[in-house]
Amino acid sequence: MTPTTAAQATPGHLLLDAEALYAELVRGVRGLMAPQTRLAGIASGGAWLAERLQRELALEGSAGVLSSALHRDDFARRGLAASAQTQLPFDVNGADILLLDDVLYTGRTVRAVLNELFDYGRPARVRLAVLVDRGGRELPVAAEFAAARVALPAGQLLSLARTEPGAFHFDVKEG
C-alpha cells in the first residue's frame, strides 16, 4: 500500500508522474494476477490502463471495457456520456476479474460499473486496482491496490490523459 501524499495541483498541472505510477501499478497488478484473471477497465482511463497492461503482461485475448453510463445515479443530470460502450470479450460467469480505473474518488462510478458487470453474468470474484486513490469516498468502495494515495481539494477533478504515442499524464480541472 502506498502512503498518502498531498499533491499540489493547479488547473492543468499535477506533481504526480503518471508513467512512474503506471510502473508501480504494473508491479501491484502482477501480485494480484492468477492464471485465470481477466482484466477489465472502466471507460476511459481505466480501459487505457487495462489495454496497456494486457499487452505488457503478455496476456491472451483482450481486456474488457466497462461503461458506467447506464447505471449512474446521476444519469438524469449527466445523460449518456460520450464514453466507450461495454465490451467484455470473455465469459463473466465464474470469472476472476481485476477491474482497473485511473482515479478512485467517491466510489459511485465503481458502483455503476459493478451493476453493469452483473448485467453480463455473475463473476466468482471482482477486485479493484487504481492508479490514484484520492479519498473522498461516498460509498464503501476500496481498491485492493492503489499506485498512489493523494489528497486533493474536493473542487478539483483529476483524470488520466494520454498523448498520441500513448504516454500517460494527468489532467487537473476545477469542478
pLDDT in tens, 158-173: 999 999 999 999 999 9
pLDDT digits (tens, 9 = 90+) for 131-142: 999 999 999 999
pLDDT confidence band for 69 (50 / 70 / 90): confident
Cα–Cα distance measured from residue 61 to residue 25, given in angstroms and rounded to the nearest whole number: 20
Which structural domain, as residue segments, surrounds residue 46? Answer: 13-174
Q: Coil, strand or helix: which one is 151?
A: strand
CATH of the domain at 18: 3.40.50.2020
Query: Does 39 map to a domain?
Result: yes
170 CB-contact burial (10 Å; exposed 0-12 / middle 13-18 / buried 19+): buried
Q: Is 55 inside any structural domain?
A: yes
Q: What is the pTM of this model?
A: 0.88
If one counts the domains in the chain, the total is: 1
List, in sequence order, the alpha helices (H) in the chain. 18-32, 45-56, 75-78, 108-119
Residue 40 domain-assigned (yes or no): yes
